[in-house]
Structure 1
Amino acid sequence: MEVEEIYRRDLNLLVALRILVEERSVSRAAMRLNLSQSAMSRVLGRLRDLLADPLFSRQGQSLIPTEKALSVNRALDEPLASLQQMLAPSDFNPGTCDHTFTIATTDYAMQTILPFALPRIYQEAPQVAFDFQPLQNEQLKEQLTYGRADLAICRPSNPIDTLHHQTLGRVGVQCLVSHQHPLAGTSMTLDDYLRFPHAMIAISDGVKALIESALADKPKRRMVLRAYHLEAALAIIDTMPLIITVPADLAYLVAERHQLVVKSLPFHFTPFDYSMIWHPRCEYSPEHEWLRRVVEEECGKLIAKRVEDIQLDQIRP
């Protein structure tokens, strides 16, 4: 197609397609584009004519995009990002930024990583706001693409080839026991680890699957508690010989707060990478670039210090 022919097409329709795919709703897309619902419906009709495809089917209150709609939307990533960069003001000032950032993350990151970046963030940009959302591991791509999350901070447990990412550092694993535990004053062997009851917490960011993989040829552990919050395990850790396996830096923070004993894993475990992940649509946004830089510098520095403090660097893959 010649450039002149592209000029004669209404390329605003492609922006409307992106919004429709993200919102899955004509009314919500109309609100974002400051249109009436009837005007948005006409835009959808013109899009269908332009692309010669129904683009969406209705399921309940939601619009389900066709393969053609998803394919065109993916193809828009790079050109729309380039246009955003080209048209955005070049003199970004975090001091006047009032953007609301939506961050998808885990309880682990909320307790042990992000709080250490927030003071600098608000020092540089006192008017920004944050909306923290629970991370949906199995739907991470969809959460960043259609859920309108700006950034995810987690251990990616599924392929993220279509997303951008930056490793913040490496995270190891340690165990927690009470001072009354039979192992509190002695080294923990593999037999000990397999013999005593365990608690696994969802805060642990996929640690359970990694532990099970490392112990694939060993007897199953006796799991007496699975919970979303660490407090459930802490409530009974003094009443039974419980072992709680969590990311190493979290273990040290919890041990200090609750007078617990930290024990090393009695088997080889490869530390895992912790990352921030974002959709290509955010790649060239000045406010997003600033946020990622601060998170990388502050959280990366924090993780590196903890790696040194707990001698994680002595553990080799």
Structure 2
Amino acid sequence: MRVEEIYRRDLNLLVALQVLVEERSVSKAAERLNLSQSAMSRVLGRLRSLLSDPVLTRQGQHLVPTEKALSINKALEEPLGSLRQLLSPIDFDPKSCDQTFTIVTTDYAMQTILPFALPRIYQEAPHVAFELLPLQDDRLKEQLTYGRADLAICRPTHSIEPLQYGALGRVGVSCLLSKHHPLANQQMCLDDYLHYPHAMIAISDGVKALIEQALEDKPKRRMVLSAYHLEAALAIIDMMPLIITVPADLAHLVSERYDLVVKPLPFHFTPFDYSMIWHPRCDHSPAQEWLRSIVKEECGKLIANRVVEMGLDTSTDSIP
């Protein structure tokens, strides 16, 4: 029998069969199925027609299932049990979850945001795994729609409809300088910022475009390096008076690790929102909902704490 032929059958009758066999009473079966006794009798009639079998026969004061009814009922135990499980609410248990989650994100988020959520994730779900892939900003929709990525952590620079998103917090921008830089021990003004050579890193999530917008009426900066990884700029930061503009929290983390100097931007710059983004197909997945809740709570708290610790102003990040 083809699938479309099964579709044309009233499969609810098979559920009625199981109840009738268990109860061996039309009235009790009617009560369980919330039907009147006359409606249940009509169901029994349709069931007899479907199976070409009496289903129940009377022996004295009792109804007894036929051999065919018992045989079909036994065969129904596994598929109906599977349907009950399939249609029941899913109780998600992180400790037993062994799913592999694919997250696309920027190098910045890989270094300064996501790692701070991983300890709690593995504490609650020790059997999960992660595949972290580089964000392709102009292909974000495709990565989440066709690439089957579960989540993106980034600052979207294009329209993301119909994707879903949740804000994690606001990120400011600062400058990294070598301790040998001429400005290392003095305040950096706008003319200084425009005069010295620059490096821009892809981790800054479109910061280059935001800065150019803020400086649109000013002379062009001399860009000597554009790279995806910060290490490329750090390799030459002592060789020339380089200014590396990156998200503020990354600047502070890197400055401690490499003994560098952090300077605020010498002009008005509004911090930008960092978000987690996902496809609507992931909206109601218990595992995905759990993952998003951990990322939002841990990463959002992290970004907020850094804003306070660094004394960043989330409405402006500038020097008068």
Q: Smaller-chain TM-score range?
A: 0.7 to 0.9
Please name the residue that 1:126 is paired with. 126
In the alignment, structure 1 residue 220 sits paired with structure 2 residue 220:
yes
Q: CA deviation at 1:314?
A: 5.6
Q: How does 1:186-201 map to 2 (within 5 A)?
A: 186-201=186-201
| CA distance, structure 2, for counterparts of residue 277 and residue 148 of structure 1 | 13
Q: CA deviation at 1:265?
A: 0.1
In the alignment, structure 1 residue 286 sits paired with structure 2 residue 270:
no
Deviations 1:251-308 (A, max 9, x none): 0000000000000000000100000000000000000000000000000000000111
Q: CA deviation at 1:201?
A: 1.1
| CA distance, structure 2, for counterparts of residue 133 and residue 314 of structure 1 | 29
Distance 1:88 1:138, change over 3 A: farther
The AA in structure 1 aligned to 2:280 is P
| CA distance, structure 1, for counterparts of residue 158 and residue 136 of structure 2 | 11
The AA in structure 2 aligned to 1:169 is G
| CA distance, structure 2, for counterparts of residue 263 and residue 146 of structure 1 | 41
Q: CA deviation at 1:226?
A: 1.2
| CA distance, structure 1, for counterparts of residue 158 and residue 174 of structure 2 | 24
Deviations 1:227-267 (A, max 9, x none): 11111111111111000000000000000000000000000
In the alignment, structure 1 residue 244 sits paired with structure 2 residue 244:
yes
Distance 1:273 1:314, change over 3 A: closer
CA RMSD of aligned residues (A): 2.0
Please name the residue that 2:295 is paired with. 295
Q: CA deviation at 1:88?
A: 6.6
User: Is the CA contact 2:270–2:314 (under 8 Å) kept in the aligned structure 1?
Assistant: no
| CA distance, structure 2, for counterparts of residue 98 and residue 114 of structure 1 | 19
| CA distance, structure 1, for counterparts of residue 275 and residue 8 of structure 2 | 43
The AA in structure 1 aligned to 2:217 is D
Larger Rg: 2
| CA distance, structure 2, for counterparts of residue 244 and residue 228 of structure 1 | 13
Q: How does 1:159-170 map to 2 (within 5 A)?
A: 159-170=159-170
Q: CA deviation at 1:315?
A: 3.6
Please name the residue that 2:148 is paired with. 148
| CA distance, structure 1, for counterparts of residue 90 and residue 227 of structure 2 | 47
The AA in structure 2 aligned to 1:108 is Y
Please name the residue that 1:272 is paired with. 272
Please name the residue that 2:175 is paired with. 175
Q: TM-score by structure 2 length?
A: 0.71
Percent sequence identity over aligned pairs: 75
Runs (4+) of structure 1 exceeding 6 A deviation are none
Q: TM-score by structure 1 length?
A: 0.72
| CA distance, structure 2, for counterparts of residue 134 and residue 87 of structure 1 | 37
| CA distance, structure 1, for counterparts of residue 274 and residue 210 of structure 2 | 14
Deviations 1:136-171 (A, max 9, x none): 111111110111000000001111120110000000
| CA distance, structure 2, for counterparts of residue 181 and residue 115 of structure 1 | 31
| CA distance, structure 2, for counterparts of residue 287 and residue 87 of structure 1 | 17
Count of aligned pairs between the two proteins: 238
Which blocks of at least 5 consecutive residues in structure 2 are unaligned?
Answer: 1-6, 10-85
Q: Equivalent residue of 1:312, what SS? A: coil
